[in-house]
Each structure stands twice: as C-alpha cells, then as structure tokens.
Structure 1
Amino acid sequence: MTDVLPNQTNRAIVEKEEMYRNIVEYSVEAIVIHVDYEIVYINESGAAFFRASKELLIGRDVLSVFQPASHEMIKKRIQKGMTGNELAPLIEEKVIRADGTTVEVELYCRPVIFGDRKAMQTVFRDISIRKETEKILRDREKLASIGQITAGIAHEVKNPLTAVKGFLQLLKESHSHPYLQTMENELDKALMTLQNLLQVSKPDLQDEPLVPIYFYKELESLMLLFQDKLYNVEVEMDLRDPEKWILGKKNLYLKAFFNLIKNALEAISEKGKIKIIHYCENQWIHIQVTDTGVGVPKEKLNMLGTPFFSSKADGTGLGLTQVYTTIHEHGGHISVDSKLGEGTTFYIRLPVNR
C-alpha cells in the first residue's frame, strides 16, 4: 500500500509533464526553452517561424537569434527572469531567422521546469503585419492632415492669383510689352501648381467611377508615352498574371503610374535602366518600378510623398504625393528602397479582385 501512492504520484507527474509538452508542441505560437542561453527545446511552430529544422536550432545560443545590439538587454532579462517566477513584461524586438531575414516580434519570458532543471521559456509572436498596418494608418493620417492644410492654403492663394491674371489680361489689351506675356506665363505655372496640389490633396472630390483595371496592359501602354525619352534608357518589362485586375479609379491610377515612371526617367541623368515588374501573389497585385538613377539619401526616404519635398532642384514633389495618395485611397500599400548613386525601387501592393 505504501508503494502505491508514490507510484501514483510519479505517474501523475509524468502525465502532467506529457500534457504540458503536448500543449507547447502544438501551440500556434513559437515557443523556445533554453538553459544557460542554450536552446534545449523548440516546438513545431517555432521551427517553422525561424525557418529551420528542430535539429538545427536545438543547441544554438538563443542570443544568436537577436540582433547584436540587443544581446546585453536580453541577457539581463533572462538573468532577472531566472531569479523569480513572474512573467516578464512584453517587449518588441527584431529577430534573425535561419534564412537571414529579420522580422519584428513581441516576446515574453518566464521560468519553467524542463525535465529536472529550471529553464527559461520564451514565446515569440510575429507582429510584422500589425506593424505594417500601423505604418499604413500613420501614412494615411499624415496625408489626410497634409491634404487639409494644403487644400486650404491652395484655395487662399489661388483666388488672388486668378484676380491678378484677369487684370493682367486687361492690361495687355491696352498696353503692349514683352514682360506682360512673361508675367502671364509665370502666373499660369503657379496656377497649374495650385491646381495639381488641390487634386492630390482632395482626390475623393473627383467623381470618377470604379472600373476594372488590368495593369498588365496599362503598364505596357503607359511606356509608349515615353518613347521619345528612352533613347539612352534600357527598359525591362517583367509582366506576369495578365488576367488579374483591381477595381479602382482608372484615370487616377494612370496618372499615378505616369508620375512614377516619369520620376524614374528623370532620376537617370545619362544612360541607365528602368525595370517594371507585375505579378500576383496571395491575392495582391505586386508592381515594382526600379531605376538606376541618382537615388535618395536614406534619411530623406520618409519624406517621399510629402507635397513640395523633392530631390530634384526644380521639382515640387506633387507627382509622388499623387502616387502615394492614390495608392492609399484604394487600400493599397507603397514602400521605397533607395541607395545613393545606385537607384531606387518603389514597391506597390494592390488588392486583387480576380
């Protein structure tokens, strides 16, 4: 009778540990257990998340999945966690997967008993989609705020300039002077700039219907408009999935991609290359426009799409503002990568309808 209770107790402990292991193994979250920074266990979700087999990951230093700048902070959190039993606060970090890609995660640690020793359990939760969504919302809010301000300013400035142009035309009828025509030409440029500003700041005012747009065909047609500018520029078109389309305001989109291609051409001072890619993946149409132009400094990339910010000496930035506004208004996403002296790539993602 005295041997029965210990056996029952041991069996209960084993069953409890087995149940715990099964819960962890089949959890949808990436779970890593490590002792003295060495990974001693990782579940299936963790192996899939880090894009490597369990055999390759077990035995590795857990610090190696973090960026070097974070190692000391992570070590202190693990050391502090091992001395207590409380769940450490959530933190956000970037981790490096086996294939070299980095991803933003939310993670927390807590001490556990693994076998017969105390270990640290770390749970990794991928938050890259959430971060991307937050960035899109911030960009939209920024563009909306800029739109409200610029629309108000444009209206206030446009009215007196229109009056000046009217009086200038009357003056031309009674007096002849070459400077008057020059003044009128400059006024027309200013009024056109203000009109473009109003269009990009309030695109929803345009009552254009939503129609199916096949960018596979439209991108080819747009390139024909630049034939006179392509004598020193090589163009490569990699267009796939011709049957895919989106629902949108066609003229706004054509103007946006015209501005994007025009911007790419103007970035190339002498000889260069433009590559345009179109394909469909995971219910999104992906379009990339790459040039081998002058590039944009890294610290200025976040300013692209803002009215009156331009890397060109005579640019207003309104072309790219119209591009960003159109993409965001249609539920799409746009990002840019650029290296000074090497070129720029715009990455556009649009929701597919078929």
Structure 2
Amino acid sequence: MIVEEQELDFQQLLDFSLDAIFVIKENEIIYANKSALDLLGGNSQQEILNEKFQKYLHPDYYFVCKERLKKVRERLHIAELLEQRIIRKDGEIIDVEVMATPYKFKGEILAQVIIRDITLRKKAEKRLYDAEKLSAIGEIAAGVAHEIKNPLTAITGFLQLLKSEIEHPYLDIISNELDNALSTLTNLLQVAKPDLDNEPSITFNLCLELERLLFLFQDQFYRVEIEKRLSDKEQKIMGKKNLLLKAFFNLLKNAFEAIEDKGKIILEHYFKDGFIHIKISDTGVGIPEDKIKKLGTPFFSTKSEGTGMGLTQVFHTIHTHGGTIDIQSEVGKGTDFLIKIPLL
C-alpha cells in the first residue's frame, strides 16, 4: 500500500528523528529537533534556539566547520560525514559524526546539519584496540619470558647444588635475586596467558567480594582510613570470579602503596545504565599526566621497584570482560580508578 504524501507528518519525522538535526542561518541555530536537544543536554528548545552553533563546537574544529558550512550555503555543497567533537551544556566533550546539506527556506539558503553521537562506538573501538595491543604485547612477552625463564631455572637448580657444598653469603643473595627474576617472569607469563583464563564464568556478588578483599589489608588500617560508598549491594555480575578478584586486589594494593604515610581510600560500588561501576580513590602521591596513558603496559610502572605486571593484569581482565577503565590523577593529591563492567 502506497501512503499518500499528504498523510505523512513530516514535521513529526524530523522532530523525533534518532539523529540530531539543526538548521543553521549564518552561525545561528534556528531549529533543533528533540534528539538535538538531548545531544546538547538542554532542557528546552528555548535554551538552544538563536544561540551560536560555534558555541558547541570543540575549538579544534572551529575552522573546518566554518568552511564546510560556507560551502554548503554558498556553493550548495553537501558536506559528507566527518568525525568531530562537540561540547555539551554540562561541559562534557563527546565524539560525533557530522554532515550538512543546503536547505532552502523563504528564498534563503540555510544549512541543515545532521549529527550522530558516536561516543559509545569510539569507546568500543578503543577497547578493541587496547585488547589487540595487549594481546600482541602478551604474545611477544610470553615468547621472551619462556626463553629467559628456562636458563634461569637451570641456574637456580645448579645454585642449590652449589649451596649444599659451599657456604658463602653471596650465594644467598644470588638465590634471592634469581627468585625475584623468576617471580617477575611468572607474573609476565600469567598476564600473557593467565592460568585463570580457563575458569568458567559464574554469577556472583562483586560488592560482597570487594568488602572481603579489603580485609586482606587490615594491617594497613591503622594509617589508611577506609570509606565505603556501596550502593546496589545485591546486584550480581557474570564473570570469571577469581580473575576479577585478582584484578581488584591489584588495584587496592596499588592504592595502599600509593599512600606513603597516612591517607584515605574511598571504595564505591553502584549500578547504572547496565554497568556495575567500581571506583577506587586514594589520596596518595598521584600519577603525572604523561604517564597515565602508559599504565597497563608490561614493565612500565610509576613505582621504583614495580614491574607494571599488576596493572597489565587489571587492564587485560577488565577488557576481556567487556569493561572499561578510566583513570584520573593529580600529583600530590591522589588517583581515581573508575571501572565499568557490564552485567552480562
């Protein structure tokens, strides 16, 4: 059945389009549909209408957007899809795809701008990239670790035989250093090919397990204050329990170690938008901004005696469970780790 054109409510199609649609006159917004309002985080169209479109553009895209809109209006040019970033009313910066087409209205050529929020897609792409990067690093690291571990194991065996025949204080030092080297290689191999990866996924209460993990650090409670902000305590997740608990143990261990004297750790747990959110905040030494992006890379650590293996295991585990990790830190004030894990 062919629907007659007059039967269609084109205004309703525009108003409730899934894509954000703006009509721009010069640089002024004269129309914005409901999705556009949601995209910018406005409460009413009056907040947006007659405002400058440039106000919501990330500064990096001012010039390119101005030139694209100029071509649309003056040359009736169709501006193809382009990835950009815009700034919502609350200051949040989001990734979007933008295209623009000429729009005739009362003898004037205006620009119809169509914007699609791709923030979730970009985050998914980043998770995939990070997972592939960790996988590649893991394969290389595993090969190197095996080649090094075998001769070290042989040396350790012969050293034990030597210690049974000769007494010398240096032999104990050599033995301890070999043990440390082998321990580091074992950790590296576990991250590259974790022993716990084969454990089955089960449904369990992560909030309850986090509280139990805290008690493993009770010898530190005399100097570190613990604040628990635990909501949605009965919410359960599906995952590899032991692998996840090892990851959160490493995060808590890092938080305690980051506090050199006295300080505070805040543990948060809540459910939102289909994800369990866990936030671990400490008032420790903090991490320089240029080093945050390197966290999770094997052998990179902000600690003088660290190997970076702990955080590598954390990133690997969270990503394989479809989760994300965001890190905020300020030197001298502390660090926040925000982990999001989907329920299924």
Moved more, 266-275 or 205-214: 205-214
For residue 202 of structure 2, what is the aligned residue in structure 1? 211
Moved more, 301-310 or 339-348: 339-348
For residues 30-41 of structure 1, the aligned pairs below 5 Å read 30-41=20-31
Would the alpha carbon gap of residues 324 and 27 (structure 1) be closer, same or farther in structure 2, given more than 3 Å must change? same
- Partners of 2:33 and 2:199 in 1: CA distance: 52
- 1:127 maps to amino acid: I
Would the alpha carbon gap of residues 49 and 287 (structure 1) be closer, same or farther in structure 2, given more than 3 Å must change? same
- Partners of 1:102 and 1:234 in 2: CA distance: 34
SS in structure 2 of the partner of residue 310 of structure 1: coil
Contact 1:286–1:347 (CA under 8 A) maintained in structure 2: yes
Contact 1:293–1:341 (CA under 8 A) maintained in structure 2: yes
For residue 41 of structure 2, what is the aligned residue in structure 1? 51
For residue 174 of structure 1, what is the aligned residue in structure 2? 165
TM-score (norm 2): 0.94
For residue 27 of structure 1, what is the aligned residue in structure 2? 17
- CA displacement at 1:211 relative to structure 2: 2.5
- Partners of 1:58 and 1:78 in 2: CA distance: 18
1:259 and 2:250 aligned = yes
Count of residues in correspondence between the two structures: 339
- CA displacement at 1:175 relative to structure 2: 1.0
Contact 1:210–1:249 (CA under 8 A) maintained in structure 2: yes
Contact 1:276–1:289 (CA under 8 A) maintained in structure 2: yes
- Could you tell me which runs of 5 or more consecutive residues in structure 1 were left unpaired when the two chains were aligned: 1-12
Contact 1:267–1:294 (CA under 8 A) maintained in structure 2: yes
For residue 338 of structure 1, what is the aligned residue in structure 2? 329
Percent identical across equivalent pairs? Answer: 47
- Partners of 1:120 and 1:43 in 2: CA distance: 14
- CA displacement at 1:241 relative to structure 2: 1.2
- CA displacement at 1:263 relative to structure 2: 0.4
For residue 292 of structure 2, what is the aligned residue in structure 1? 301
- 1:263 maps to amino acid: N
SS in structure 1 of the partner of residue 24 of structure 2: strand
1:97 corresponds, among 88, 94, 100, to 88
For residue 137 of structure 2, what is the aligned residue in structure 1? 146
Would the alpha carbon gap of residues 273 and 300 (structure 1) be closer, same or farther in structure 2, given more than 3 Å must change? same
Moved more, 206-215 or 56-65: 206-215
For residues 1-354 of structure 1, the aligned pairs below 5 Å read 20-52=10-42, 53-203=44-194, 206-353=197-344
Moved more, 47-56 or 164-173: 47-56
Structure with higher Rg: it is 1
- 1:28 maps to amino acid: L
- Partners of 1:94 and 1:203 in 2: CA distance: 38
Alpha-carbon deviations, 1:302-345, whole Å to 9, x = none?
11011110011111000111111111222222221212222111
- Partners of 1:87 and 1:154 in 2: CA distance: 55
- Partners of 2:140 and 2:36 in 1: CA distance: 47
- Partners of 1:138 and 1:259 in 2: CA distance: 23
Alpha-carbon deviations, 1:160-201, whole Å to 9, x = none?
000001111111111111111111111111111111111111
Contact 2:196–2:242 (CA under 8 A) maintained in structure 1: no
- Could you tell me which runs of 5 or more consecutive residues in structure 2 were left unpaired when the two chains were aligned: none
Aligned alpha-carbon RMSD (Å): 1.9
TM-score (norm 1): 0.91
**Dislocated runs of 4+, deviation >6 Å:** none
Alpha-carbon deviations, 1:96-152, whole Å to 9, x = none?
122222211110111101244221111110000010000000000011001101111
- Partners of 2:79 and 2:160 in 1: CA distance: 74
